[in-house]
Amino acid sequence: MQNNPSVVESHYETLLAARYTWMMGGPERCLQNARELMDFARVAAPASGKALDLGCGGGYHAKALTERGLEVIAVDNSPVLLDELRAVCAGLRVNPVLGDLSPVTQYAAHGLFSLVVCVGDTLTHLSSRDAVQQLIRESRKLLAPGGALLLEFREQLKDLPAQDCVLTTRAERDCIMQCVLHYETDRVWVTDVVHDWDGGVWHTIKSTYPKLRFSGEQLASYAASEDFRVEIDGIRAGRRVLLLRT
């Protein structure tokens, strides 16, 4: 079974893109989280180099990469998030690109990269596990010798008990955001529910989209088939992190 990319894109357009940074704790927390991820993955400042940030979102990982000396090609299919990136990365060596993740080889014109990054939950938004393997395979073709692919994703290996499938992602006086999880064998359906208070009435919007379910071991197997070696494999902030080296 495959995810429909248009469903994911519609979810971001109608609900999530404008609230994503807020949901994740705000700009300062997002930037700190990005820096901590780069520390965890031991991304060091090269003498020179270029990074491809796939699913760049609001630009916090791109900004953290520029702090380590990298020029960044930042790709996302959300105009709202790219507008946020332009503000976050103003004056930095970040080139925003409105586009899809597939095929990754469409970004070959930017030259070879020393680092390809696909973090957050971007991988789980792809249409299928085959599409995940394709991203790994095509990223390999874009990397300079000794380059690396950094992957981060949330593993959803076990179904939560029914009473634990309603989660509050963030709550403030005038806005509450929750998500409801529904499990299938190869994916989990996520329904985001937002309650906004306008001073007199609560307004509720909701939207549902699917995320793939796969393990770090599956990705490591894909990586080995594409002649990557796993340099880092660990858990950080509840997400699996893999650094794959050519």
| pLDDT single digits (tens) 33-87 | 999 999 999 998 775 699 999 999 999 999 999 999 999 999 999 999 999 999 9
51 CB contacts (<8 Å, ≥6 apart)? 62, 65, 70, 71, 72, 73, 113, 114, 115, 116, 117
Same domain, 122 and 238: yes
Enumerate residue ranges in the chain where pLDDT < 50.
none
pLDDT of 45 reads 74
Specify the pTM.
Answer: 0.95
Same domain, 123 and 63: yes
Q: Are strands 166-172 and 143-153 parallel, antiparallel or unpaired?
A: unpaired
Same domain, 238 and 166: no
Same domain, 195 and 234: no
Domain count of the chain? Answer: 2
Ramachandran bin of 76, using left for φ above 0, alpha for ψ from -120 to 50, beta for the remaining angles? beta
Same domain, 53 and 25: yes
Same domain, 127 and 198: no
3-state DSSP assignment of residue 196: strand
- CB-based contact 106:135 (threshold 8 Å): no
pLDDT of 44 reads 86
Distance separating alpha carbons of residues 122 and 55, to the nearest angstrom = 6
**CATH classification at residue 51:** 3.40.50.150
Distance separating alpha carbons of residues 241 and 171, to the nearest angstrom = 28
Range of the domain at 191: 162-210
- Bridge partners of 131, per DSSP, are none
238 CB contacts (<8 Å, ≥6 apart)? 154
Same domain, 96 and 146: yes
pLDDT of 113 reads 96
Same domain, 193 and 117: no
Same domain, 47 and 169: no
